[in-house]
Amino acid sequence: MSDAAIYQIYPRSFKDSTGSGLGDIAGITQQMDYLEQLGIEAIWLSPFYPSPLVDGGYDVADYCDVDPRLGSLDDFDDMIAAAHARGIKVIVDIVPNHSSNQHPWFKAALAAGPGSPERARYIFRDGRGEHGELPPTNWNANFGGPAWTRVADGQWYLHMFTPEQPDFDWSCPEVHAFFCDVLAFWSDRGVDGFRIDVAHGLAKDLDRDDLDRWHLAEGDDMVDDGTHPLWDRNEVHEIYREWRRVFDRYNPPRSAVAEAWVLPERQYLYARPSELGQTFNFEFAKAIWTYDDMHAAIEEGLKAAIESDSASTWVLSNHDVPRVATRYALPQIKATRYHQIALDWLLRDGSSYDEDRELGERRARAALLLELALPGSAYVYQGEELGLFEVADIPWAALEDPTATNTHGPKREKGRDGCRVPLPWVAADDPTQGGSFGFSPADADAAPHLPQPAWFSDYAADREEADPTSMLALYRDALWLRRKLHGCANDLAWLDLDGRTGLADGAEGAEGGVIAYRRDNGWACVTNFGAAPVELPAGRVLLTSSPLADGRLAQDSSAWIMLGEI
């Protein structure tokens, strides 16, 4: 999996086979030909487990089953067989930091009372104050609100996310054994790999007296020595060494990738071959579209991969961040919080800045070629291949994401639903006439779980399939070409052409420049951020993100070239 292109499926919004308005596992099986034609080598499924869906399924009530609304284990087996028959590997999401409060273990913990072995699986503490009425620490949770919730007998439990997502206590041996069994359960079913949610949060050190000095939310006081009480502690790596022993029981060994929002210089620890093998490098997803930012993102990613002796991973977007085409369509201004411009724009239903879609699409096309030629694996988030933009104007009443609905307080944040709207497959299946752009079958009982905007018809898969200039056509061409070219050494060399222009000709007046690198088989990628078109190095042009003008590469465009060939 170290150099694969992996397609992320957010199951509830991919394809609904039953008419319930929720995407499901059989829907994925139905679209397997589409996935095969796209040219991806693996799919990663965000959680599909039984869940109250307080946090889009990242609140798991049963780790070894399929949510009945999304199908059954038999459907899962059919899906995996269909994927494997086409040579597509399957990765599932493991959520080990917390469960749902509907998980039998948490229910048992509440019933059993303070000091019981059942409570030892979660993080229960007595409160402070004369009657324990104050939470054990002053922490706020990641989605806002206090990180501790009090239960009827007066104790408090810790939750890094919503109150419905109690954190496991990883110092409890039962928790270790349980997750080894979960990994084995899915591996036995033929799953090829795992994406590990909040991989940097499992180990915690709560038995010290300086806890109020630290923050839980957003890891904004991350340190580089593993001494934070909550995030990126050194002991977390013992867990992953234990998991590696499970992965290595299988042939081929199961793969894993860590979701770890840690300092770039600590990413490699998770990716060591003796642990998870790969870690998401989010530098691209965080970067703005300027030469400096994108170049630095590549350098950070490569450095982390070299340090861990693993392959890098490249991510432009996922289910947690505003869609890449929209990010690039908005002003490219660096802020202390990633995506601040897009988040502000979302909060105002897309009215506070001009979303220049033509520009956003042009840059997203260029970014794709820039990303896919890099060594390592690349993750494509569903809908990215259609060039979907963020849906900014979902009515507040229709939002599902807890970051919008209940934790940050009234209308402080619009949340992540705008990138989770059910996909448009068929342009003509008009929602104003009861359709769903082909997301649900014709006789559906319910509308898609999030409303689809009318403009989705322009981005429907069938329409783009018929258009050789569409985003989908570019993704297919690039992904298939990548498969042919990618089997070279895991290296990258910068070309002489690479560098800044010295002129303020990039996005919003930033200094322009050209990112230009080659792989050892002569495959080169050139991306122009500057206003002046650039000459390409000598070679055969394989693919461009926008047409060349007099053989030169215009601003916000990328080209793939086979150096030295004519």
- Give the residue numbers marked as catalytic: 197, 259
Q: How far apart are the first and last CA of the chain?
A: 32
Least gap, CB of 143 to ligand NOJ (angstroms): 8
Residue 75 or 259 with smaller CB distance to ligand NOJ? 259
Instruction: Yes or no: say if 47 and 62 are a contact pair by the CB < 8 Å rule.
Output: no
167 binds ligand NOJ, rule: CB under 6 A: no
Binding piece for ligand NOJ, criterion CB under 6 A, among 54-62, 472-480, 502-510, 540-548: 54-62
Label the pairing between strands 377-381 and 148-150: unpaired
Judged by CB under 6 A, the residue of 7, 44, 49, 58 near ligand NOJ is 58
The residue number with the shortest CB distance to ligand NOJ is 58
Instruction: Yes or no: say if 552 and 530 are a contact pair by the CB < 8 Å rule.
Output: no
Which element (helix H / strand E) includes 543?
Answer: strand 539-544
Residue 315 or 372 with smaller CB distance to ligand NOJ? 315
Q: At what angle do helices 471-485 and 357-372 cross, to 10 degrees?
A: 10
3 binds ligand NOJ, rule: CB under 6 A: no
529 binds ligand NOJ, rule: CB under 6 A: no
Going from the C-alpha of 138 to that of each of 135, 154, 168, 226, the distances in angstroms are 7, 17, 19, 21
Residue 56 or 264 with smaller CB distance to ligand NOJ? 56
DSSP 436-497: -TTSS-TT-SS--SSPPPGGGGGG-HHHHHT-TTSHHHHHHHHHHHHHHH--S-S--EE-TT
Amino acid at 546: S
Enumerate residues 300-319 that contact ligand NOJ by CB under 6 A.
319
Least gap, CB of 217 to ligand NOJ (angstroms): 12
Residue 160 or 378 with smaller CB distance to ligand NOJ? 160
Q: What angle do CA 224, 226, 229 make, to 5 degrees?
A: 120
Judged by CB under 6 A, the residue of 169, 320, 384, 429 near ligand NOJ is 320
Question: Closest Cα partner for 553 from 495, 478, 497, 477?
Answer: 497
Residue 198 or 386 with smaller CB distance to ligand NOJ? 198
Judged by CB under 6 A, the residue of 106, 124, 139, 161 near ligand NOJ is 161
Judged by CB under 6 A, the residue of 198, 325, 388, 525 near ligand NOJ is 198
Show the beta-strand stretches assigned E in 163-208: 193-196
Q: Tell me, residue by residue from 375 to 414, as one string, x for binding to ligand NOJ by CB under 6 A and - for no binding.
A: ----------------------------------------
The whole-angstrom separation of Cα 47 and Cα 247 is 20
Least gap, CB of 285 to ligand NOJ (angstroms): 12
95 binds ligand NOJ, rule: CB under 6 A: yes
55 binds ligand NOJ, rule: CB under 6 A: yes
The whole-angstrom separation of Cα 299 and Cα 247 is 30
Residue 420 or 482 with smaller CB distance to ligand NOJ? 420
Question: Closest Cα partner for 375 from 474, 210, 491?
Answer: 491
Is residue 271 helix, strand or coil? Answer: helix
Tell me how crowded residue 432 is: count the other CB atoms within 10 A of its CB. Answer: 6
Binding piece for ligand NOJ, criterion CB under 6 A, among 53-61, 113-121, 213-221, 231-239: 53-61
Binding piece for ligand NOJ, criterion CB under 6 A, among 55-63, 103-111, 351-359, 457-465: 55-63
Instruction: Yes or no: say if 536 and 551 are a contact pair by the CB < 8 Å rule.
Output: yes
Binding piece for ligand NOJ, criterion CB under 6 A, among 52-60, 113-121, 438-446, 532-540: 52-60
The whole-angstrom separation of Cα 163 and Cα 154 is 15
Residue 236 or 479 with smaller CB distance to ligand NOJ? 236
Least gap, CB of 129 to ligand NOJ (angstroms): 29
Judged by CB under 6 A, the residue of 67, 118, 197, 293 near ligand NOJ is 197
Q: Tell me, residue by residue from 114 to 153, as one string, x for binding to ligand NOJ by CB under 6 A and - for no binding.
A: ----------------------------------------
Residue 95 or 474 with smaller CB distance to ligand NOJ? 95
Least gap, CB of 415 to ligand NOJ (angstroms): 10
Binding piece for ligand NOJ, criterion CB under 6 A, among 50-58, 71-79, 116-124, 532-540: 50-58
Label the pairing between strands 42-45 and 5-9: parallel
Question: Closest Cα partner for 32 from 79, 95, 75?
Answer: 79
Residue 158 or 474 with smaller CB distance to ligand NOJ? 158
Which element (helix H / strand E) includes 112?
Answer: helix 104-112
Is residue 8 helix, strand or coil? Answer: strand
Tell me how crowded residue 455 is: count the other CB atoms within 10 A of its CB. Answer: 12
Binding site for ligand NOJ (CB under 6 A): 55-56, 58, 95, 161, 197-198, 259, 319-320
